[in-house]
Amino acid sequence: MFKYIKHLAYPINITKKDLKMAKLIVTQFGGPNGELGATVRYFSQKFSMPDEKGRALLNDIATEEMGHMEMVATMVRQLMKNATIEEIKQAGLESYYTEHNKGVYPQDASGNPFSAAALAVSADPLTDLTEDMAAEQKARSTYENLIDLATDRAVIEPLLFLRQREVIHYNRFKELYDYYERLGY
């Protein structure tokens, strides 16, 4: 059961247009290390966790990742708000605009659409949790790279929040991994 609360986990109020940053940040929506992949991966893996503790953790984090998708989409949308066709062309977003206008589409920064082929679901709790820890580390690294490229505090602050959530998720997956390893899974 889900309960939707109509506010973001971290407030986003970007008023400075930056199409090049939008083009980069969209990778955390639908890129290989992004929030959509994490949401689907963890939700799918929860069904083969050996107990309610594992199922609950994966479900909780999958649900939180949906909220992160909403944050990233909000950032992209605000960064593109009121962009002119000339600005879209200057940012190299003509192909994106042709297909999606100023909508938020799940793709990486290079324009490759989201692919479920990147998802790992093995039905082995230790294997899946190892994948999950690696996914959180890759997402953390990607957020750090985006932070390095950003210049606007209104962009950097939510990226810092999202980066920190990746660290917390990694730690929660590591705790569950250690617990299952002690139980002999």
17 phi, psi to nearest 5 deg: -65, 135
Question: What does the pLDDT average to over 5-18?
Answer: 94
pLDDT on residue 4: 77
Q: What is the DSSP letter of 48?
A: G
Q: pLDDT tens, 80-123?
A: 999 999 999 999 999 999 999 999 999 999 999 999 987 899 99
**CATH topology classification for 19-183:** Ferritin (1.20.1260)
pTM value is: 0.96
Q: pLDDT tens, 127-175?
A: 999 999 999 999 999 999 999 999 999 999 999 999 999 999 999 999 9
> Do 10 and 158 touch, CB atoms closer than 8 A?
yes
- Give the separation between CA 128 and CA 36, rounded to whole angstroms: 17
